[in-house]
Amino acid sequence: MATETLTINEAAETTGWSPRMLRYIESIGLVVPERSPAGYRLFGAGELQRLRTLRELLNDHDVALGEVGFALRLRTEASLSDAVDAWLQARPVRPQGTTAADWLKREQAKHMRLLGLATGGSS
């Protein structure tokens, strides 16, 4: 049978995050492992993968943990997302020639790309 979960120290070892940071990352809701009956964190393959890609995300683009946390908030709090979108929408994007319609087209294309993975699939 598979001992498919790692303890926090083992997870720290294989992901490069410190145990302290694994707890912190959990506290801001980014990677939340299951718990054993006694309350021990159990890191599965999925968690480990996301911890590694999280590190890449922070390195590649210049993003902070709190900012990813905010992106998550945008994802889960629809009213917040709408309010922010509305405010940004009303901005006259200084650089040349980016009309509202123009931007909407690109925005739409982007989401089509993302959603297409599911909507275009088998029914």
Q: Which residues bind DNA (CB under 7 A)?
A: 7-10, 18-21, 23-24, 28, 36-41, 64-67, 69
Per CB under 8 A, 90 contacts a second copy: yes
Cβ at position 40, least distance to DNA in Å = 4
Query: Token match 């294309």: residue?
Result: 109
* 3-class SS of residue 21: helix
Binding partner of 74, given DNA, a second copy, none, CB within 5-8 angstroms per partner class: a second copy
CA distance 56 to 81: 25
Binding partner of 119, given a second copy, DNA, none, CB within 5-8 angstroms per partner class: a second copy
Cβ atoms 65, 28 nearer than 8 A:
yes
Per CB under 8 A, 60 contacts a second copy: yes
Binding partner of 109, given a second copy, DNA, none, CB within 5-8 angstroms per partner class: none
Cβ atoms 48, 58 nearer than 8 A:
no
Per CB under 8 A, 72 contacts a second copy: yes
- Amino acid in the structure at residue 22: L
Read off the tokens for 70.
């905010």
